[in-house]
Amino acid sequence: MRISRTPQPTAVAPSEWIAGAAWVDEIAAPEGSSRFRVDSVHFAPGARTAWHRHPLGQVLHVTEGTGLVQCRGGEVRTIRAGDSVRIAPNEWHWHGASPTTFMTHLAIQEVAEDGTEAERGTHVTEAEYSAGSLSH
């Protein structure tokens, strides 16, 4: 067992992956034979990821606020503190904050054997995002 008390510095999420302001705190990173990654991602109102997919899927667990999530071809869904979302392997999706509130979630995934964590697609358009915010 190893206890980590000196967390990595909070990082600004890269603009290639996120539209708007978001910050990432690394909770667990692949180490040794483990391929497990957990990040806490804090999205400002209106911020969201680009379309992306994970080779082995992803679980999102919302710890505070209200957000939106959509899988390609599906409806935009509202997510709130306490909700968990399971995204299937290689399923294109995006997630982020609602237009009016911050949202923080834990992003949990296993990294593929070749080191691939995710594949990024295009940024979510204002029309795609607004479709979800109207039903919020």
Instruction: Give the tens place of pLDDT for each residue, 12-25.
Output: 999 999 999 999 99
Instruction: Give the tens place of pLDDT for each residue, 99-132.
Output: 999 999 999 999 988 888 999 999 999 999 988 6
Between the alpha carbon of residue 54 and those of residues 60, 66, 78, 95, 117, the distances in Å are 12, 23, 21, 13, 6
Bridge partner residues of 104 (DSSP)? 42, 64
User: Which single residue is written with the structure tokens 């940024």?
Assistant: 123
Contact in structure between 38 and 107 (CB atoms under 8 Å)? yes
